Structure 1
Amino acid sequence: MTTWWQSGTIYQVYPRSFQDSDGDGVGDLKGIAARLDHLVALGVDAVWLSPIFPSPMADFGYDVADYCDVDPRFGTLADFDALLAAAHDRGLKLLLDFVPNHSSDQHPWFVESRSSRTNPKRDWYIWRDARPDGSPPNNWISDFGGSAWQWEEATGQYYYHAFLKEQPDLNWRNPDVRQAMMDVLRFWLDRGVDGFRIDVLWHMIKHADFPDNPANPAYAPAMGEMHRVLQHHSTDQPEVHGIAAEMRGIADGYAGDRVLIGEIYLPVERLMDYYGLGAPGVHLPFNFQLIDAAWDARSLATMIAEYEAALPAGGWPNWVLGNHDRPRIATRVGEAQARVAAVLLLTLRGTPTIYYGDEIGMTDGAIPANRAVDPRELREPGLGLGRDPVRTPMPWNASAHAGFSTAEPWLPMGEDWPTRNVAAQAADAASMLALNRDLLALRRKHAALAVGNFVLIATVGDVLAYERRLGDERIVVALNLGTSEQQVALPTGEVMLSSVVGPASIGTLRANEAIILRVTG
């Protein structure tokens, strides 16, 4: 028997950019609640909210000042409870973004920790003496550039921050930290949330001796300074799997199939360890391969086959095309292939996650230099690493500010919002939104697409094809990743869906066409 998170589809909401209900230009919980019917009509099963906790917003919510409350910009705990109830009333699950690796430097724990070397919470964070010459304890580099160590004159030590200096890393080797953070999970699970996406799970434990990281022989400045070293000692340490197992035990102790999804950017062979080593790990270690994949049939076929082969016994696959950190799929592959990509995402074996706005084909927004707010961009400008372009507000209609807000939004709207918006696409049977709705309806109707077996068909030319099977039902998916017509030999059957408007042919795929075929012969 499958769980909801195996057969279902997850939808990521970036709360600042989904819907503003109070006219301050920033999205909020009441705004999300007001748009739940869009998600029901789309056909997704769960909503994952990027962080909503109180925060100084140095990194837009990923610097948490209180793990058990809601930031006033987004609303109140009562607003959260109302959103959760409204989602559950509609048959939607609700997931939160848990940020356990680091807190804000304004969290009361860190305020105490930095106050003196003898404070009881000193060891809740990672403090180290300088080297004899006064330099940082090692060569570790922040993911936002610069040293990952910040000197504190008042107590004469450095503290470690894998990201901004305003985001000090918690010391997960301290059992009191571990207990406090597990209690945070219980707080929200008791409140009724259906699971968590766990931020930077692979960062949570560091090598106990803090040795230097090795230099990256392939480093080039355009990659960003964080890549100057290989994070061998600052991430992916063996002890992290015990933490994941404890989190899993907590989640599994609640009724309703609560789910844990781990953010983990690692090669496939190391990613698989997060399903569990000796004890179950997270239910879904995020598989980001499609985000960076070469967009051609042979490369994708190889990647999919290797991922499927690497899965441990009982490990359930998952797929992601985009998120709040990476360029949008329509920007990466173009509008026509974004439709093909939607078919791919929603017909592969495993749990898909849709990033808000991808269902209408949103592209990366143009952000003038004077409107940039992402610290990634502000610290290393000009490298194209900024994340503002993928966080622009959701365009709902052609009214002022795209129906997102009655005020100027916190980020500029995408340039094509007057025509690319939910209302316009809802009225167009050939739109990207209509395609996504049709795909999700097929997943619900045909269990073979949701939970069936996966069989790759030999790749020919620009065509990637595979079969989904469950019982007597056989469904073939064929995707033309090229810009010219392709001949393809497929079984006898009925075309249930094409990504291109007009009658589809089983033997000939039009340019940029994907079809879903029910096998009848």
Structure 2
Amino acid sequence: MKRQWWKEAVVYQVYPRSFNDSNGDGIGDLQGIIEKADYLQELGVDVVWLSPVYKSPNDDNGYDISDYQQIMDEFGTMEDWDELLDALHDRGIKLIMDLVVNHTSDEHPWFVESRQSKDNPYRDYYIWRDPKPDGSEPNNWVSFFSGSAWEYDDRTNQYFLHLFTKRQPDLNWENTEVRNDVYKMMTWWLDRGVDGFRMDVINNISKSPGLPDASVKDPDSDYQFAAEHFANGPRLMEFLGEMKERVLKHYDIMTVGETAFLPIDSARKMTDENVGFLNMVFQFEHMAVDAQPGTHAGKWETRQWELPELKHIMTKWDKEMEGGGWNSLYFNNHDQPRQVSRFGDDKHYHKHSAKLLATYLHTMRGTPYIYQGEELGMTNVRFPSIEDYRDVEIHNMYKEYTEERGYSHEEVMNKIWTTGRDNARTPVQWDDSENGGFTTGTPWIKVNPNYREINAKQQMSDPDSIFNYYKQLIELRKQEDVIVYGSYELYMADHEELYVYTRSINGEKLLVILNFFAGEPVFELPEDIAFDHKTLLISNYEVKESESISSFTLRPYEARVYKLN
């Protein structure tokens, strides 16, 4: 296995709208990130992944881009971006940008031209189709955000495809000129100094020829989720190979693809360090352990997750990627609810369960990602009114569930409180002043009311805080090669409370013992784990160094990492 800086790195995702507001308009901005550069350095992260800051009308909070080479007015200017890049680089932190090229905004000049006429030179930059003979949509595909994935345009009497909102038309990657323009844009950013890309829904860029109807049936909808026709299409690897040849291989950068529905063998091929195209991918299989299987609506129809299933998924991905591929390690981001509320206990064991989840993600094999506020144990929020929410997905779902599916307001709000994306988008809680120190104005979305108890100022001065625990984990990763490059071996696969594994390299071994719940199970040391000496590297409870590990009772959400030799 080759040593690579991006394997050894810890990545911190900044969702700029909610990170820090420097000018009091209630919206986070680039100067606000610059103000917190010392904070990021103190935490110890190596890379900042910056969610989109490009020019955008904000139909989907910046993931609808109208100009890839300009900065959104609310966030600042290109000069601010240059200053941010320098501020991070001066502190030894790299910067990767969000590359959103499955779709653009309907205000992008390409689409403005494309919709003018059927013979416009930009017409084929997007996916246009005639109605069916009965006047209906070209196929039965559903958008990720509810309703048809097709929008009728009466100027030319055709439909255009949008897998996301109707203001996010999908680009036609079959068109060579589209690909050429994307590669030119990527090169422009790399020459400007960016250190890589997180590639938004990148495995959606190749669709099935002919765009056939979806076969997966959702009994509650006329429209069907068509992942088999828009994810991992027949030319995906060809397009990524071309991108690598034209752009990626010419720079020492980090690339990570967001790849829902990607089969594990395709992920291995895509990330193979000798012949692959990207450094790593975000797989989503583990993010469905609490979702009802079978329909796209499963995100909103949750179930009690079980630890053996999570262990099976994560172990499978580790083993299949071993020897050349590489994994990303995450439990939350801007599209997911807060991890401590979802997989921990944010009421009775907030601190211990937040530290447990951190221990897990930072001791597995792969590159760990921290989503802003995760290092403070920020939690889900329970706003009482739908008007308190800003996410287009939440509002579309609320309308569909109340008006078409017959759910009550209370039933739908419970789903939003559990799963909604705005759980991750409330402003970062910097201190206990008004609005958590995020802004001196009115925040674009309300701050979680628990900012007085959970905030960075308090935690940075508390040696036992979640923040300082993250600092220790990041530092351990820099000190211990075994955490980055060691092999992974699972023990007690069927245990319903304990997640136990080793990491081994060159005669060094880590033993990781994690109690994922509030019970007090007994750990029995597996017979084939032998050692002469043990050193406790980190734990989220006080543990006596002399304590035997041959058999002991774990406390709720306890995490221990031992070095054995």
Map of 2:498 onto structure 1? 463
Map of 1:62 onto structure 2? 63
CA contact under 8 A between 1:494 and 1:519: conserved in structure 2? Answer: yes
Deviation at 1:474, TM superposition (A): 1.7
| CA shift digits 1:396-445 (9 cap, x unpaired) | 11122211111111111112101100011111122111211111111111
Map of 1:364 onto structure 2? 380
Q: Distance in 2 between matches of 1:79 and 1:443?
A: 32
SS across alignment from 1:310: helix
Change (3 A) 1:323 1:187: same
1:389 to 417, 420, 423: 423
Deviation at 1:230, TM superposition (A): 3.9
TM score, norm. by length of structure 1: 0.94
2:236 pairs with 1:212: no
Moved more, 398-407 or 229-238: 229-238
2:305 pairs with 1:264: no
Map of 1:49 onto structure 2? 50
CA contact under 8 A between 1:480 and 1:513: conserved in structure 2? Answer: yes
CA contact under 8 A between 2:183 and 2:247: conserved in structure 1? Answer: no
Map of 1:453 onto structure 2? 487
Map of 2:524 onto structure 1? 489
Change (3 A) 1:84 1:496: same
CA contact under 8 A between 2:21 and 2:32: conserved in structure 1? Answer: yes
Moved more, 37-46 or 13-22: 37-46
SS across alignment from 1:185: helix
2:511 to 464, 470, 476: 476
Matched to 2:342, the amino acid is R
Q: Distance in 1 between matches of 2:476 and 2:222?
A: 42
Q: Distance in 2 between matches of 1:186 and 1:226?
A: 42
Moved more, 277-286 or 143-152: 277-286
* Equivalent residue runs for 1:41-190 within 5 Å: 41-190=42-191
2:397 pairs with 1:380: yes
CA contact under 8 A between 2:142 and 2:226: conserved in structure 1? Answer: no
Q: Distance in 2 between matches of 1:203 and 1:476?
A: 39
Change (3 A) 1:282 1:430: same
CA contact under 8 A between 1:9 and 1:45: conserved in structure 2? Answer: yes
Q: Distance in 2 between matches of 1:98 and 1:343?
A: 30
Q: Percent identity?
A: 38
| CA shift digits 1:136-164 (9 cap, x unpaired) | 11111111111111111111111111111
2:558 to 485, 490, 513: 513
CA contact under 8 A between 1:245 and 1:276: conserved in structure 2? Answer: no
CA contact under 8 A between 2:274 and 2:324: conserved in structure 1? Answer: no
Deviation at 1:337, TM superposition (A): 2.7
SS across alignment from 1:253: helix
Change (3 A) 1:440 1:289: farther
Deviation at 1:313, TM superposition (A): 4.1
Deviation at 1:279, TM superposition (A): 4.7
CA contact under 8 A between 1:195 and 1:251: conserved in structure 2? Answer: no
| CA shift digits 1:75-123 (9 cap, x unpaired) | 1111111101111111101000010011100111101000111111011
Q: Distance in 2 between matches of 1:425 and 1:143?
A: 38
2:469 to 428, 432, 435: 435
SS across alignment from 2:514: strand
Deviation at 1:181, TM superposition (A): 0.5
Change (3 A) 1:323 1:423: same
Q: Distance in 2 between matches of 1:43 and 1:290?
A: 27
Moved more, 235-244 or 168-177: 235-244
CA contact under 8 A between 1:483 and 1:512: conserved in structure 2? Answer: yes
5+ residue gaps, structure 2: 291-304, 399-411, 526-530
Aligned length: 514
CA contact under 8 A between 2:269 and 2:325: conserved in structure 1? Answer: no
5+ residue gaps, structure 1: none
Deviation at 1:179, TM superposition (A): 0.2
* Equivalent residue runs for 1:213-292 within 5 Å: 213-216=214-217, 219=218, 221=220, 228-255=224-251, 257-266=252-261, 267-275=263-271, 279-292=275-288
| CA shift digits 1:364-406 (9 cap, x unpaired) | 1223322222110111113536422210000111122211111
Deviation at 1:503, TM superposition (A): 4.2
Q: Distance in 2 between matches of 1:75 and 1:454?
A: 44
SS across alignment from 2:363: coil
Deviation at 1:46, TM superposition (A): 0.3
Matched to 2:336, the amino acid is R
Deviation at 1:290, TM superposition (A): 3.9
Q: Distance in 2 between matches of 1:437 and 1:186?
A: 34
SS across alignment from 1:380: helix
Q: Distance in 2 between matches of 1:424 and 1:501?
A: 21
CA contact under 8 A between 1:141 and 1:229: conserved in structure 2? Answer: yes
Deviation at 1:276, TM superposition (A): 6.2
Deviation at 1:3, TM superposition (A): 1.3
Q: Distance in 1 between matches of 2:76 and 2:255?
A: 25
CA contact under 8 A between 1:287 and 1:319: conserved in structure 2? Answer: no
2:398 pairs with 1:403: no
Matched to 1:474, the amino acid is K
Deviation at 1:486, TM superposition (A): 2.8
Change (3 A) 1:6 1:108: same
| CA shift digits 1:249-301 (9 cap, x unpaired) | 3454334x201110011143444343369952221111334433365543333
Matched to 2:474, the amino acid is L
Q: Distance in 1 between matches of 2:469 and 2:482?
A: 19
Moved over 6 A (4+): none
SS across alignment from 2:459: helix
| CA shift digits 1:159-203 (9 cap, x unpaired) | 111111111111110000010011111011001111001111121
Q: Distance in 2 between matches of 1:90 and 1:434?
A: 19
SS across alignment from 1:413: coil
1:345 to 361, 377, 381: 361
SS across alignment from 2:49: strand
Q: Distance in 1 between matches of 2:381 and 2:194?
A: 32
CA contact under 8 A between 1:499 and 1:515: conserved in structure 2? Answer: yes
